[in-house]
Amino acid sequence: MNWGPQFITRVGGKLQHSMLAGAWRVGPILAVAAFGLLLLPASFSQSLGPDVAAQAPGSPEKESLSVNPLTGMVSASGSDYKPLTAHQRWKLYLKQNFWSVGAYFGPVASALVFDQASGDPEEWGGGLAGYGRRLGSRLGTSTIQACFQSAAAAFLGEDTRYIVSDRHTFKERAGHAMLFAFVTYNNQGHKTVNAANLGGYFAASAASTLWLPGQRNVAVYTLTDGSQQAGLGALANLLQEFWPEIRRTVLRRP
């Protein structure tokens, strides 16, 4: 097989063309996402009390906003919890969803492992053209989920980070990870239902019916696909919880 520049250019062109050909399918969701962005400033400003909002962006209390390249998540300490400032919310939103490897690893891997491998939806066919459409679809749902979650979390005062367990045993930490697929911390550091995150899954699933081929019952598809996404989120929590050990033992990094 010829792996020269002409071959690479031809393959890249086909993939780009297939994604552009299906862009009209994703257009409605991107429009909704853009509308969500317009809501973010107001939501962020309402979510913070005066003490939290007064913290300087460069304050020593500022926690790391490093995005995990595999899960696309950011962790916060459960034992020494500090709520997000408005500045941190904006930075986290942009890094977690646009300016990091983790922002794209999930859609790229999901489109390949779950969609392309199973040929779902079958109307999109196989090869680079089919993968391009499936990748565009995953990127579209990821965008709307992120916009919905960030805006709703800011408005409700919920944290969009993963709250790391302060326990030590595997069983306790694993249980914590599963629980925090459905709960999070509010601005006061108290547990609350993770309504923004869960709502984002179902909103993105419902919106994806705008471009997915075939006739679908919107309510049934939203319930089933949104539940599946929430389940995958719980598995991502497990990976995020034990990421320090994975870095040390598997990746040989501190």
Output the pLDDT for position 221.
Answer: 92
Q: Report residue 113 as tokens.
A: 């492992």
pLDDT values of the chain reduced to their tens digit, one per residue, 254 residues: 444 444 334 444 444 444 444 444 444 444 444 444 444 444 444 444 434 333 434 443 345 788 989 898 999 988 889 999 888 999 999 988 888 898 899 889 988 988 888 888 889 988 888 899 999 999 999 999 999 999 999 999 999 999 999 898 999 999 999 999 999 999 988 999 999 999 999 999 999 999 999 888 899 999 999 999 999 899 999 999 998 888 888 767 66
Residue 116 lies in a domain: yes
Residue 188 lies in a domain: yes
Residue 78 lies in a domain: yes
Output the pLDDT for position 253.
Answer: 67
Output the pLDDT for position 51.
Answer: 41
Output the pLDDT for position 78.
Answer: 85
Buried b / exposed e over 207-233, threshold 16 CB at 10 Å, is bbbebbeeeeeeeeebeebbeebbeeb
Q: Report residue 62 as tokens.
A: 């500022």
Residue 110 lies in a domain: yes
Residue 133 lies in a domain: yes
Residue 254 lies in a domain: no
Output the pLDDT for position 47.
Answer: 43
Cα-trace Rg, the chain: 19
What total number of domains does the chain contain? 1
Residue 174 lies in a domain: yes
Cα dihedral sign, 183-185-187-190: positive
Domain residue limits at 195: 14-52+63-249
Half-sphere CA count of 194, side-chain side, radius 13 A: 23
| Dist CA 200 CA 205 (whole Å) | 8
Q: Report residue 99 as tokens.
A: 């300016």
Residue 57 lies in a domain: no
Question: What's the CA angle centered on 25, arms 213 and 37, to 5 degrees?
Answer: 130
